[in-house]
């Protein structure tokens, strides 16, 4: 792929449309939030429609067992964006992740504590987090379609792995209805009758057994020339959980290159697209270093 492991200075949507179908293992994007210094659309509906056009391309280029993460900081915008994703694509919402910036071992906990203690006139809780929405595809529906196409009954497949007393159990129906995933044992009869492997039915998730839905990471205080950089270690956590070495990771709002740096350090391939030339120059320098 000609865009692999390069710093591409271009409009993200323009390059996205040139990428092959099902060519990317992970999409991790941090688009403008359209608030404060990030405000690019006065008409908020135009902002949602603009991102919706990206979501449709994400659906096309992401592999069936891939993952999609999007950062944001405004809850009401996130609800609108989730609705766009839900109605315009076949992505399935997996989790709402809170990136917590004030925690016991944070380098700036003392500084942030000052806001909690000192800002009494604010009449609200201090906001010291950002949010990440996590999506994958629903892969189990193809089981029933293929089974009916080939003319097999659920019972025929199920009885390949009967109970200890030789009776039918619910292992296959649970998989076909999306209540559980196949494992190394149950995939054998599924492959025998329907031809599917694990990767055809299970989204890629390499559980590191380190995180739940609240993530503690310090902000990137160096900022490296960008107003809202994400910490490399946070991005690495996403990459480790949802890809393998050699996989392809896409960021079409590349900023100063955090995702590209994380991919290089973890032996992943990246597609980096950034519209602002000044950020592309910073990203190139970071990759050299």
Q: Using one digit for the tens of pLDDT, what is the confidence trace for 44-62?
A: 899 999 999 999 999 999 9
Alpha-carbon gap, residue 269 to 289, rounded angstroms: 17
Whether 34 has a pLDDT exceeding 80, the answer reads yes
Question: Which pLDDT value is given to residue 223?
Answer: 62
State the Cα–Cα distance between residues 104 and 284, nearest whole angstrom. Answer: 34
CA 154 to chain centre: 33
**Is 168 or 37 the better-scoring residue by pLDDT?**
168
Q: Is residue 220's pLDDT more than 90?
A: no
Task: Check if the beta carbon of residue 6 is closer than 8 Å to that of residue 254.
Answer: no
> Chain centroid to CA 234: how far?
12
In the block, tokens 């003319």 appear at 151
Lowest mean pLDDT among 154-158, 184-188, 216-220: 216-220
Q: Are 175 and 154 in contact (CB under 8 A)?
A: no
Among 254, 242, 259, which Cα is nearest to 68's? 242
Q: What is the pLDDT at residue 40?
A: 79
CA distances for 245 relative to 63, 262, 271, angstroms: 16, 12, 15
Residue 289: the pLDDT is 80
- 10 Å CB burial of residue 256 (0-12, 13-18, 19+) is buried
| pLDDT value of residue 152 | 97
CA angle centred on 231, ends 97 and 53, rounded to 5°: 60
Give 9's Cβ-side CA count (13 Å radius): 9
Q: Is the pLDDT of residue 221 over 80?
A: no
- Mean pLDDT across the stretch 22-41? 90
pLDDT greater than 90 at residue 163: yes
* Cα gap 214→69, rounded to integer Å: 15
Pair 182, 175: CB distance under 8 Å: yes
CA distance 266 to 206: 14
pLDDT at 285: 94
The answer to whether the predicted template modeling score (pTM) of the entire model surpasses 0.85 is: yes
For a pLDDT cut of 90, what percent of the chain falls above it? Answer: 85
Confidence at residue 39, expressed as pLDDT on a 0 to 100 scale: 81
Summarize pLDDT for 85-143 with one digit per residue, the tens.
Answer: 999 999 999 999 999 999 999 999 998 898 888 766 578 888 899 999 999 999 999 99
Estimate the crossing angle of helix 141-150 against helix 187-194, to 10 degrees: 50
Query: So what's the pLDDT on residue 1?
Result: 74
How sure is the predictor about 28, in pLDDT bands with cuts at 50, 70 and 90?
A: very high
Q: 7-139+203-288 has which CATH code?
A: 3.40.50.150
Asked whether the predicted pLDDT for residue 226 surpasses 90, the reply is no
Pick from 30-39, 92-101, 186-195, 279-288: least confident: 30-39
What strands, in cross-sheet order, belong to the sheet with 24-29?
7-9, 269-274, 248-251, 24-29, 62-72, 129-137, 91-100, 214-216
pLDDT at 117: 84
pLDDT reported for residue 225: 66
Does residue 272 contact residue 239 with C-beta atoms inside 8 Å?
no
């Amino acid at each position: 792929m000609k865009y692999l492991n390069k710093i591409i200075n271009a409009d993200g949507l323009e390059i996205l449309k040139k990428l092959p179908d099902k060519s990317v293992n992970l999409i991790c994007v941090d688009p403008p939030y359209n608030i404060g210094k990030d405000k690019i659309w006065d008409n908020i509906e135009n902002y949602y429609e603009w991102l919706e056009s990206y979501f449709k391309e994400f659906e096309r280029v992401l592999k069936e067992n891939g993952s999609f993460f999007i950062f944001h900081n405004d809850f009401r915008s996130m609800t609108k964006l989730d609705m766009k994703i839900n109605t315009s694509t076949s992505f399935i919402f997996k989790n709402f992740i809170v990136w917590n910036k004030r925690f016991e071992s944070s380098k700036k906990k003392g500084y942030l504590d000052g806001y909690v203690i000192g800002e009494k006139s604010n009449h609200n809780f201090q906001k010291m987090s950002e949010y990440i929405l996590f999506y994958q595809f629903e892969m189990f529906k193809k089981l029933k379609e293929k089974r009916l196409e080939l003319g097999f009954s659920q019972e025929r497949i199920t009885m390949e792995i009967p109970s200890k007393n030789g009776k039918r159990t619910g292992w296959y129906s649970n998989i076909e209805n999306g209540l559980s995933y196949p494992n190394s044992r149950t995939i054998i009869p599924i492959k025998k009758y329907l031809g599917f492997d694990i990767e055809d039915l299970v989204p890629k998730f390499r559980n590191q057994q380190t995180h739940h839905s609240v993530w503690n990471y310090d902000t990137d205080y160096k900022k490296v020339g960008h107003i809202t950089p994400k910490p490399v270690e946070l991005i690495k956590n996403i990459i480790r959980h949802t890809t393998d070495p050699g996989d392809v990771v896409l960021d079409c709002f590349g900023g100063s290159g955090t995702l590209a740096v994380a991919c290089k350090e973890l032996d992943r391939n990246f597609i980096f697209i950034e519209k602002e030339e000044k950020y592309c120059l910073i990203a190139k320098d970071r990759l050299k270093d």
